[in-house]
With several copies, the nearest count.
Chain A
Amino acid sequence: MAKKSYRQAIAEALRQEMERDARVIVMGEDVAGGMGAPGEDDAWGGPLGVTKGLMPIFGRDRVLDTPITESAFIGAAAGAAATGLRPVAELMFVDFFGVCFDQIFNQAAKFRYMFGGKAVTPLVVRTMYGAGFRAASQHSQCLYPVFTHIPGLKVVLPSSPYEAKGLLIQAIRDDDPVIFFEHKAMYDEEEEVPDEPYAIPFGEANLTREGDDVTIVAFGRMVGFANQVADKLAKDGISCTVVDPRTTSPLDSDTILECVEETGRLVVVDEAHPRCSMASDIAGLAAQHVFGALKAPIQMVTAPHAPVPFSPSLEDLYIPSPDKIEAAVRKTMAS
């Protein structure tokens, strides 16, 4: 076991699954890079270098660069998945889903239902999300609530390098279409990650902190923020449970509801916009199913109902911060 970055953990998962199963292929814009160019081959590995090094091992037949045509190649991944491959397609930034979502939500996600249970579509779409990169409105969105809304998709939000490796391996082995959200501001985060392959099951939440007073449900990068806050508040005698659901679809509602029943207080932290979000999804779940256990109003910490601003001064205010999470916890404790 060694320290690995989120980037390395993802690359390792890809490599190990490609070794294990010859049907696993990787495709996307510049996932190797240098196609047709006079210089170095495997020049890019995607814009942030995640897939670099795969092509020299597995060759161009299994690591496919694509033209900038997301509908065609994400759809091709869906079609390949339905006919016997296990493609991992890179939708570079999730912000680009608007040019190709049909192939994901009307095709891949619905094959099985529309075809009466006869289709199996083991497609993985890896994609970058999240703010904090000064990448402005069209390269910083979260959008996982949109994918979570769609039946037929599974949606994964790894919150650390360890989680990223295990969840990606599960995603690749899974027989349903999976959207795998990688937070672009987390690629350099490091932690101990086992060298051997391991799969983390979907729909099983991870309790990263256990406490008595408040349940914090947080997603993706927000899990780390929630843990920071929990550690800080512990010193003030406020004891928090932090739930990382890992996957928003399927959702481990049982664990979430149990935690809320135990603590009686709920704060949901969602980096996405507030409307029809995971924050409201979890809040609604609790308000319907464990209403009687709730001791205080549910607090939701989200990004605002506004596009992501470019200016660092504004973007820093935009993202849900540990301070805002702490304030929400204190608020629910005070009521």
Chain B
Amino acid sequence: MQLSREELLKAYRQMCLIRAFEDTVHEEFSAGNIPGFVHLYAGEEASGVGVCLHLTDKDCIASTHRGHGHCIAKGCDVGGMMKEIFGRADGLCGGKGGSMHIADLSKGMMGANGIVGGGPPLICGAALTAKTLKTGGVAIAFVGDGGSNQGTTAESLNLAKVWNLPAVFVFEDNGYAESTASSWSVAGDLVERGKAYGMPARRVDGFDFFEVWDAAREAIERARNGDGPSVLHVKLSRYYGHFEGDAMTYRAPGEIDAVKAQKDCIALFKRRVTEAGLLEPDQLAAIEDETAREVADALVDAKAAPPPGEAKLLTDVYVAY
């Protein structure tokens, strides 16, 4: 374990922030306060955070429809995100994008994406920019198990390898694409696929923050050193439905409760760092309070914030037209 105390605190803070954010959005959606399609990341926090902890603003990520966690892990403003999800004028995207399109290019967050498999090609582009302009940056595509099958993803693996791009493909395999099990929809094996495209590939326990962090460190280092792309196949679980409103009847009774009880990534992290004496329980408790408050404040602000006015309907289509 090579994380500094500061990094550990940051990791815990971000995971708690994501969890609090998603739990809050879940409640607000259930109460009918949030419209549209909303996909929550709760349960998968160790992946986004374990990867993004290695990144700075000059590094880029592309996310999926399930983007809130990646946004927070990449440093997007939680207040701006909440406002965006509520469709407010000063949301991170002016209320025009909503949950499925939150982005902050200044943070290297290239957007959640409503198109499954939409991100990997974009990440090849961000990696190409880094390589061409020699910024030292890397680019990471988060892709679901369902998205792993999409042709755009396969093409991107090939392109990243052929162009020797500083890229990492993180397959977040939460066991389902909507109601379809990944054990059915993903033929063969994602680690083997990465290898078949000529790149190092590693299976990762996504409940274990430290394992994610370590695998990501290795892959990102490789990319930064000019040694090309890698694949990580991260196994994890989502706690809520595919989207808000999903009754999840396709899951086994008790499936989620068992995961929560046995290997919740935040609980595992907490146990590990306290047992090892790396962080104090009250430090962690403070973070829990703090992040809960941050999200609660963001919610209050978002509810109070005004929606965009008519004048905004036709702006931002072009830089100039």
Interface residues of A, Cβ cutoff 8 Å to B: 23, 25, 29-30, 33-40, 43-44, 47, 61-62, 64-69, 71-85, 87, 95-96, 98-99, 102-103, 106-107, 111-120, 133-139, 151-152, 154, 174-176, 203, 250, 304-307, 309-314, 317-318
CA distance A23 to B133 in the complex (A): 8
CA distance A107 to B116 in the complex (A): 12
**A38: which B residues are within 8 A, CB to CB?**
181, 250-252, 255
Which residues of B239-293 are within 8 A (CB) of A? 243, 248-253, 255
Residue among B60, B92, B318 with the highest chain A CB neighbour number at 10 A: B318
CA distance A236 to B309 in the complex (A): 32
**B116: which A residues are within 8 A, CB to CB?**
68
Q: Can you list 27 A-B contacts with CB-CB less than 8 angstroms, sorted by A residue number?
A: A34-B249, A37-B251, A39-B252, A40-B249, A66-B159, A68-B116, A68-B149, A68-B150, A68-B177, A72-B151, A72-B152, A75-B120, A76-B128, A76-B159, A80-B132, A83-B129, A83-B130, A84-B133, A87-B125, A107-B122, A113-B317, A114-B103, A115-B101, A116-B92, A117-B316, A138-B114, A306-B317
**A305: which B residues are within 8 A, CB to CB?**
314, 317
User: Are the C-beta atoms of B159 and A69 separated by less than 8 Å?
Assistant: yes
User: Are the C-beta atoms of B151 and A136 separated by less than 8 Å?
Assistant: no
**B156: which A residues are within 8 A, CB to CB?**
69, 71-72, 75-76
Return the chain A residue nearest B251 by Cβ: A39
User: Are the C-beta atoms of A311 and B253 separated by less than 8 Å?
Assistant: no
- Range, interface on chain B: 35 or more
CA distance A99 to B113 in the complex (A): 14
User: Are the C-beta atoms of A116 and B91 separated by less than 8 Å?
Assistant: yes
User: Are the C-beta atoms of A152 and B317 separated by less than 8 Å?
Assistant: yes
CA distance A61 to B128 in the complex (A): 10
**A33: which B residues are within 8 A, CB to CB?**
178-180, 250
User: Are the C-beta atoms of A135 and B37 separated by less than 8 Å?
Assistant: yes
Give 10 closest A-B pairs by Cβ, nearest first: A79-B125, A75-B121, A36-B184, A116-B94, A310-B98, A36-B181, A138-B114, A311-B87, A79-B122, A134-B35
User: Are the C-beta atoms of A116 and B114 separated by less than 8 Å?
Assistant: no
- Contact A79/B132 with A115-B111, A134-B36 known, Cβ cut-off 8 Å: no
CA distance A69 to B89 in the complex (A): 36
User: Are the C-beta atoms of B183 and A64 separated by less than 8 Å?
Assistant: no
CA distance A111 to B252 in the complex (A): 39
Return the chain B residue nearest A102 by Cβ: B115
Is B212 in the interface zone, CB < 8 Å from A? no
Closest Cβ–Cβ distance, residue B254 to chain A (whole Å): 10
Is B320 in the interface zone, CB < 8 Å from A? yes
